[in-house]
Structure 1
Amino acid sequence: MTRALVDFVFSVEGEGWGDDAELESLVSRVLAAAASDLRENENQPFPEEPTEVSLVFADDAFVRSVNAEWRDQDKPTNVLSFPAFPIRPGGMPGPLLGDIILARETIETESRDLAKPVEAHLVHLITHGFLHLFGYDHMEMAEAEKMESVETRILATLGLSDPYGDLEPERI
């Protein structure tokens, strides 16, 4: 049996997220696949003991307040990631990797707009947030292309298609 690379804790701070056991199972599956992919395909090192991720399943109001306070953007967004310590891709994470915060209403709206199941979009955003904790970014075109490539590969292992399709990498 292989050892876990990542442990997680999660909190539900908003209505409408569904059953906690189902969320826990989903998060466990996504983080295990993402961590395994990073180790195998990107030579990402992991500490001897699993690094820990905190996830908050919130509503738009919660995410808007965090986004305003920490990023000076007074609006909700689908996912926020806050690394415990800055690392670059391939750097050794510490015992605490960081936090991922997800906004339910924004995710549901985007899912409708994209004509995809909410769970598929949620899996994508958890993966996206997780990669940010490892230093992946999309500010520059080369970074965006790399991050999207890794994301797409991880999502494929989870049975999901390329969320970007023929779109140009997003730089935000």
Structure 2
Amino acid sequence: MTPSFDLIVDAENWPPEDELLRVGGQAISSSLATLGLESSDAFCLLFTDDAEMQALNTQFRDKPSATNVLAFPAAASDAGFLGDIALGQETVFREAKEKSIPVIHHIAHLVVHGFLHLQGYDHQTEAEAEQMESLERLALQNMGIADPYEGDQQ
């Protein structure tokens, strides 16, 4: 089943919308398969800039800085809607360049990461982080994307 999500692009320099729809759909489909789920509630995928990410991060997390991805799970009473995932253009592109990976692969990773947050996963403890990273690796491997944590210092 093709995942149902709204795509909002409100910043320049992202890949074309059809490519974002494709990689977003693949990332969610792969995440669902990794989690053993057949479908998901609808959600929104926002491609914005670092200024908006800083505003969101400040408003909702009291962290006055831009970040690569934010996930906002919907309230339990909001049946049929999973939540929102937002990505910040400048940070995403900078990180991809620093890691020497294609931007589209980094986008896929961050969509998987955000989707796992919407499914209730977190990385506040080392055990949670290990579980979440393992799921991310599997979902990305199913897409033919290399381990995003390879070479990271533990």
The answer to whether the superposition gives a TM-score over 0.5 is yes
Counterpart among 4, 19, 22 of residue 16 in structure 2 = 19
Structure 2 CA distance for aligned equivalents of residues 150 and 37 of structure 1 = 7
Q: Secondary structure at the residue paired with 2:4?
A: strand
Partner residue, 1:138: 123
Counterpart among 124, 142, 145 of residue 157 in structure 1 = 142
Task: Indicate the RMSD between aligned Cα atoms, in angstroms.
Answer: 1.8
Partner residue, 2:104: 119
Partner residue, 2:82: 97
Structure 1 CA distance for aligned equivalents of residues 111 and 153 of structure 2 = 21
Partner residue, 2:7: 10
Structure 1 residues 168 and 134: alpha-carbon distance in aligned structure 2, compared to 1, 3 A threshold: farther
Structure 2 CA distance for aligned equivalents of residues 108 and 83 of structure 1 = 25
Structure 1 CA distance for aligned equivalents of residues 21 and 134 of structure 2 = 26
Would you say how many aligned residue pairs link Structure 1 and Structure 2? 153
Structure 2 CA distance for aligned equivalents of residues 167 and 14 of structure 1 = 30
Partner residue, 1:54: 44
Partner residue, 1:89: none
Partner residue, 1:37: 34
**Structure 1, unaligned stretches of length 5 or more?**
87-92
Structure 2 CA distance for aligned equivalents of residues 18 and 132 of structure 1 = 24
TM-score normalised by structure 2 residue count: 0.92
User: Which residue identity does 2:61 align to in structure 1?
Assistant: R
Structure 1 runs, 4 residues or longer, greater than 2 Å off = 166-169
